[in-house]
Structures are given as C-alpha cells and as structure tokens.
C-alpha cells in the first residue's frame, strides 16, 4: 500500500535529479551558513554540485515525455534495441547516420537511421527510453536544446535532431 498517489510518484520520479540537487544544495548552504570552517568549504563544493545536478536534472526531466508506452528500450554497449508489440530492431550508435523525431505518430517517435537497415522507430514514452538521453548525448555535435525543444513542439513534420557529417575530400593512402 502506498501513501503517494501514482501521479505524484510519477512527477517525483521524473524530477528526481532536480529534487536530489535541491536537497544537496540545502545541505551545502546549511554548512556554509552554519558552522563554517572545513564544513563551510565542503558546503561550497556541495552547492556547486547542486547547480550541476539541477541543470542536468532539468534537461533529463524535459527529455522524459511520459511513461506507459508500448515496448521496451534496451541499451547495451552502444547498441540501442527496441522490443515492441508490432515492430522492433536494433541500431548501433557507431553506424547511426541520422536521428530525427517524428511528431506525426502518436505518441512521437524517435527515428534512428543507419545505412542498409530499415529505420528504427522508438516511441518517446516506451519503457526504458530514459537511457536514450545518455546515448544521444554521446553523438558528436548534438544540440541538446534542439532535441529538448523538438520534444515540446507540436509540429507536423519530422525534425532532424542530428545527422552525421561526412568528411569529403579525405583520402586514405594505402602506401
């Protein structure tokens, strides 16, 4: 039996990093304003950690579009796999050519494209989709704010979040 409503529990879970950061920051400020000395210095360290945790937490909370979607996402050593009731597949992040967000589907879907493979469609509210934030953050040149604003937009066309740049003109010599 739980004393917390499911909606409140979901909100707390969505904003967990921010709430943890606020708690750490409160402890740090109490050490800075209270005893001072060595605890005061450690308090400043905690306050700086709090700021970093809150910034990252806000980004992660914006990324979490909901829960209860169909299918499950699994990330294992750079390989993203989606197991859905009707579709599924996997994509190696090293082979990824394009990451886009398709708002035409309900709910929105992440679209991972790689050469000679069909695109992998992942609902934004699938089980385990939180792990994609860290995976997407490793893509070189990814604009995190563009990704997060794309989730909030109510567009009618797919949004290209990231695309691999090709270096033309580079020649590998065999001799």
Contact residues for 138 (Cβ-Cβ < 8 A; gap 6+): 93
Q: What tokens were used for 172?
A: 């590998």
- Same domain? For 123 and 149 the reply is yes
Answer whether residue 22 is part of any domain: yes
- The domain tally of the chain equals 2
- Same domain? For 77 and 158 the reply is yes
- Same domain? For 58 and 121 the reply is no
d(CA 152, CA 125): 13
pLDDT digits (tens, 9 = 90+) for 29-71: 999 998 878 888 999 999 999 999 999 988 888 887 667 778 8
pLDDT at residue 1 in the model: 58
Answer whether residue 126 is part of any domain: yes
pTM of the model: 0.76
H-helix or E-strand spanning residue 82: strand 79-83
pLDDT at residue 167 in the model: 58
The low-confidence residues of the chain, meaning pLDDT below 50, are 168-175
Interhelix angle 16-33/37-63, nearest 10 degrees: 160
- Same domain? For 32 and 89 the reply is no
d(CA 109, CA 128): 14
Answer whether residue 174 is part of any domain: no
HSE (side-chain half, CA atoms, 13 Å) at 28? 17
- Same domain? For 81 and 112 the reply is yes
Residue 45 neighbours by CB distance under 10 Å: 13
Cis peptide before 107 (omega within 30 of 0): yes
Answer whether residue 109 is part of any domain: yes
Strand partners, 99: 112, 162
In which domain, by residue range, is 159 found?
72-163
Cβ neighbourhood burial of 151 (10 Å; 0-12, 13-18, 19+): middle
- Same domain? For 29 and 80 the reply is no
Answer whether residue 33 is part of any domain: yes
- Same domain? For 80 and 123 the reply is yes
Cβ neighbourhood burial of 31 (10 Å; 0-12, 13-18, 19+): buried
């Amino acid at each position: 039996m739980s004393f917390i409503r499911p909606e409140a529990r979901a909100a707390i879970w969505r904003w967990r990093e921010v709430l943890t950061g606020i708690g750490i920051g409160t402890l740090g400020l109490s050490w800075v304003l209270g005893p001072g000395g060595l605890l005061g210095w450690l308090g400043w360290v905690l306050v700086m950690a709090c700021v970093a945790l809150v910034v990252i937490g806000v980004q992660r909370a914006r990324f979490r579009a909901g829960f209860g979607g169909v299918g499950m996402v699994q990330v294992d050593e750079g390989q993203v796999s989606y197991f859905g009731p009707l579709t599924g597949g996997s994509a190696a992040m090293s082979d990824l050519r394009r990451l886009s967000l398709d708002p035409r589907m309900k709910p929105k879907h992440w679209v991972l494209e790689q050469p000679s493979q069909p695109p992998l469609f992942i609902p934004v509210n699938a089980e385990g989709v939180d792990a994609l934030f860290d995976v997407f953050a490793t893509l070189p040149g990814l604009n995190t704010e563009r990704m997060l604003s794309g989730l909030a937009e109510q567009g009618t066309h797919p949004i290209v979040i990231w695309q691999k740049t090709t270096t033309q003109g580079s020649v590998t010599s065999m001799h």
